[in-house]
Structure formats: C-alpha cells, structure tokens
Amino acid sequence: MTSPTSPGVYRAPMRSRDDDVPDGPAVDRALSLGLCGLGGRLEGSPDALEDAVSLARRQHGDRLAQRIGRFAAVPDGTEVWTRDVDGLYWRGELAGPWHYDARPDAAAVDLVHVRTCRWADSPLEEPSVPDAVRASFARGGRNWQRIRAATPR
C-alpha cells in the first residue's frame, strides 16, 4: 500500500468532459509536449492557480475548481498513467507546477490545466501494466484520480 506521506499514483485519462472533443488528441498532445493535465476551458487566461480555481468555480462549479486544486497540489515526482487511443499504457512522472495553457491547440483538445510530465519513451501493453492501474482504467471515467490499490511501481 502507499504510505500516507507518499505522493501516490494517479490515473490521468486526459479525456474532455465536452462530448464534442474526440478521445485521443489530448493524450497525443500531452505525450508529444511532455505534459499531463485535465480539461476545463476558462473564459480568460489565468496566470495564477487561485485565479483559475476562482474562474472555474464561477464558470463551471465547485467540482472543476476542486479538481484543478487537487491536480495542482500533487507533488512533483508523482507517478501518473494514461492510455492512448490504441489502448496502450504510458507511465509518467510529474515534473513541474500547474499552469493554464491558453494556446488555441490546447483549447481545441480541452487540455488546458497542465503540468510538465516526463513520459516513458515507449508505451506498455496491458500484460505489463500493474493490476491496480489496469483496474482503475477499466472502471472508465474522465477524472484525474488517485489509484488507491497497492502501489503499482
């Protein structure tokens, strides 16, 4: 089990809540640019986390605001996992603070709340992925969330 002081392991599906945004391009963008993130486009381009949380709360409600805050609070070095459209798993490690990506390409795929991430050079096929990670993705969903089972390292 992860200890209470460990940063944990997180699932980062990077799928927009906007059904008009197809699955896949956000993950492709994140892998190619060395980012990890979540959606929630904002009217305005916040420079500070506090501003983003406040805008998110006003424009989208408490749930997005809280999700952004949790994502930003996870320490550097935290292990993250995502899946590409081919179903392959990618392991990464967060390596920088939250920032809002206001570029049009980021908005197009709704991957605007981002952090630098060091992704592995190549993906893993399902049999090579820890059980807890596979189970987390099998449940589905679009949320950034902690993988609560045994540490999958």
User: Residue 5: pLDDT above 90?
Assistant: no
pLDDT at 2: 41
Domain count for the chain, please give it.
1
Question: What digits encode the pLDDT tens for the residues 67-110?
Answer: 999 999 999 999 999 999 999 999 999 999 999 999 999 999 99
Parent domain of 120: 9-146
User: Residue 12: pLDDT above 80?
Assistant: yes
CA distances (Å), 13 to each of 1, 4, 77, 140, in order? Answer: 22, 24, 18, 9
Domain CATH for 136: 3.10.590
pLDDT at 150: 52
pLDDT at 152: 43
Residue 136 lies in a domain: yes
Residue 3 lies in a domain: no
Helix residue spans in the chain (DSSP H): 25-33, 49-60, 62-73, 104-109, 131-138
pLDDT at 6: 56
**Average pLDDT over every residue of 104-123:** 97
Residue 151 lies in a domain: no
CB 80 within 8 A of CB 64: no
pLDDT at 110: 97
